[in-house]
């Protein structure tokens, strides 16, 4: 995370000077609020105006290490609606509450474990958890997930 501290200057006219910060990261990508990605060859501009006398801006970089998918899933399943990670970072449980099992919107949770080569070497799940007892349509199993620090206990 890059933290920037601004000390804007007041002009003689009483107007506040606009702080302009231009950041260029390569090979990272940036996206605007409509999620359109800009190529890394372009720079990211952050314009801050009407700042108090001392203002801070925090800019976080997000790096994609792996794309985890459910091979039996669909876009409407909402895989990633909930996510929990073990304390050691080796196990993830990911909810897909609108996933269709035997019935519509029954939901599921997927467990991913980090392989020896790191997250970038996998995209498939280790286990799929579903409501096996009297599952009903619209159970939304996976709408809440949790995992213990050691990764040995998962609650859905």
Burial of residue 104, with CB atoms counted within 10 A of its CB: 0-12 exposed, 13-18 middle, 19 or more buried: exposed
Structure tokens at 76: 């409407």
How buried is residue 6: exposed, middle or buried, by Cβ count under 10 Å (0-12/13-18/19+)? middle
| Total domains present in the chain | 2
- 70 belongs to a structural domain: no
Determine the 3-state secondary structure of 118 from DSSP: coil
Is 31 in the same domain as 99?
Answer: no
Check whether residue 90 and residue 18 sit in a common domain. Answer: no
Instruction: Let me know if residue 132 belongs to a domain.
Output: yes
Q: Give yes or no for a contact between 126 and 111, defined as CB atoms under 8 angstroms apart.
A: yes
pLDDT of 139: 86
Considering all CA atoms of the chain, what is the largest pairwise distance in Å, rounded to the nearest integer? 73
Instruction: Name the pTM for this structure.
Output: 0.60
Query: pLDDT tens digits, residue range 28-45?
Result: 445 555 555 555 444 444
Give the range of the structural domain holding residue 32, as residue numbers without chain letter: 2-59
Examine residue 69 and state whether it is found in any structural domain, yes or no: no
Name the strand (E) or helix (H) holding 120: none
Per-residue pLDDT tens over the stretch 115-125: 888 887 777 88
Asked whether 59 and 4 are in contact (CB, 8 A), the reply is yes
Is position 32 within any domain?
yes
Q: Closest Cα to residue 141, out of 110, 95, 81, 78?
A: 95
Q: What is the pLDDT of residues 118-147, one digit of tens each?
A: 887 777 888 988 887 777 888 899 999 999
pLDDT in tens, 45-103: 454 445 555 555 555 555 667 788 888 888 889 898 999 999 998 999 999 998 877 78
Residues 43 and 80 in one domain: no
Two tokens at 131? 């409501």
Report if residue 25 sits inside a domain.
Answer: yes
Q: Do 103 and 138 belong to one domain?
A: yes
Residue 64 in domain: no
- Considering the domain architecture, whether residues 28 and 94 belong to the same structural domain is answered as no
């Amino acid at each position: 995370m890059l933290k920037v501290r601004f000390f804007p200057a007041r002009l003689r006219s009483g107007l506040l000077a606009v702080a302009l910060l231009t950041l260029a990261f390569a090979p990272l990508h940036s996206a605007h609020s409509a999620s359109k990605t800009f190529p890394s060859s372009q720079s990211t501009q952050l314009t801050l105006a009407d700042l108090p006398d001392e203002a801070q801006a925090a800019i976080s970089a997000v790096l994609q290490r792996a794309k985890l998918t459910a091979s039996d899933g669909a876009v409407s399943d909402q895989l990633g609606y909930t996510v929990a990670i073990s304390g050691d970072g080796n196990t993830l449980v990911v909810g897909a509450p609108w996933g269709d099992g035997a019935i519509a919107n029954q939901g599921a949770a997927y467990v991913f474990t980090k392989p020896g080569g790191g997250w970038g070497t996998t995209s498939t799940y280790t286990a799929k958890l579903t409501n096996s007892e009297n599952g009903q349509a619209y159970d939304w199993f996976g709408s809440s997930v949790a995992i213990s620090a050691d990764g040995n206990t998962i609650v859905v």
